[in-house]
Structure formats: structure tokens, C-alpha cells
Amino acid sequence: MSGNRRELLKEIYAGLSAFFGPQGWWPAETPFEVILGAILTQNTAWKNVAAAISNLRRHDLLIFENICRVYPQHLAVLIRSSGFYNQKAKKIKNFCNHVLTKWGGSLENFLALDLEPLRSELLSIRGIGPETADSIILYAAFKPSFVVDTYTYRIFSRHGWVEESIGYEDLREYFMGALDADLALFQEFHALIVRTGHLYCRKKALCSGCPLNVYL
């Protein structure tokens, strides 16, 4: 049964990869920028996140040591366009304070942890949930933790491949239990799923030619 799942996933990945080509995610220049983007994009369109990151860049705040010194209120003003800005400013500061107090300010050392210890420590930080944690692990720490998002859930449940009631951890295990722990594969697969979701989830267009050929 699990071999079947592996074949299904391999087939979907191959199809999406051939259809869309390489995605080259995450759209950021440094690990810390990935982390900021992962928090800022929580339930928010990426376009609004991009504007916030652009503001941070203008203020030279895409650097860990710099953002550590800024007040949450000031941060909130700069990331306003990403929505939930008061919460998100606090979440970013929570992350920074964790690295400062527990890792002596060495983000590099923190991200060098093995996958499982890193994941549980990320999840202990207020504001870092499972998707944000896995995004950070996959695209900032470069370790193969599969990222599940709403598109993943919608696409796979709508096709009847998983139960509608499935939760985050079980859906993540659906992928990780069937696929080899391959960094590039996980990075591309998630990016391709999001690409598909952007085009077809809750849109009127049908998936003409797309391997996931169903009205979502």
C-alpha cells in the first residue's frame, strides 16, 4: 500500500516538474530572510509579504543582529502590509530572543541542529507552528522536512488521496513515509504544489494540461 503511495507521489511530482519546470524556491537571498518570510506569509498573500520585506530591506533589517535591536512597534509599522502586523512583529522578536538567549545569538549554530531537535525547538517558539517550522527547516536550514500547506491539503483531499479530516502531522507523514528524505525533492515538490494552488485552487480556470487535472 505504501509502495503504491510512493508511486503516486513520484508520478505527480514528475508530472508537475515536467509541466512547470524548476521553481527554485524559496524566493529569498539568505536563511534569515527565509525565516522572516515564513512568519510574514502566515495566512497572507505573498505579494503583501514582498512589500513588507522590501521595507525591511530598505531599513537594513534583513540582518539578524539588526532586527534584534529594533522595537516591535517599529517593526510592526514596517511590516504593516503583511497583515496581522502586531502579532507578526512579536513573533519575529520571539524568534530572535530565542536565538539570543539559547544560542548566544548564533543563528548559524541553531540552524545547524539535526532535523528533529531543530523542529521541536522551533515549535517551542511562540508564533512558529508546524508549517512555519518545516519551511524554515527545508529552506533555511536545508534539511528534508516536508512542508504541508493549505494547497497541499486541498489538492490531496479533493482528489480523494487522503481523508478530509487528516491533520498536519499525518499529512506530512503521508509524504515523508513514502518518499526518500531528499532535500531538493522536498523543496521542489512543495514549491510545485503551491504553484498549482496559485493557478487552480478556488479559481474558475480548469487545469488544462496540468497533471492535477481537477477543478479545485
Partner DNA sequence: CACCAGGCAAGTA
Partner DNA sequence: TACTTGCATGGT
Interface positions with DNA (CB under 7 A): 25-27, 37-38, 41-48, 51, 80-81, 83-88, 125-133, 135, 139, 149-151, 165, 168, 194, 197-198, 201-202
**C-beta closer to DNA: residue 112 or 123:** 123
Least Å from the CB of residue 95 to DNA: 11
CA distance 144 to 83: 29
Cell numbers placing 143? 534539511
Cβ-contact 25, 188 below 8 angstroms: yes
- Residue 106 corresponds to which amino acid? S
> What residues contact 10, with CB distance under 8 A and at least 6 apart?
179
C-beta closer to DNA: residue 74 or 126: 126
CA gap 137, 119 in Å, rounded: 7
What's the CA angle centered on 25, arms 164 and 57, to 5 degrees? Answer: 115
Which one, 83 or 105, has the nearer CB to DNA? 83
Residue reference for cell 488544462 = 208
For DNA, the closer of residues 6 and 87 by Cβ is 87
Smallest gap from residue 179 Cβ to DNA (A): 19
Tell me how far, at minimum, the Cβ of 3 lies from DNA, in Å: 28
Q: How far is the CB of 182 from DNA (least distance, A)?
A: 19
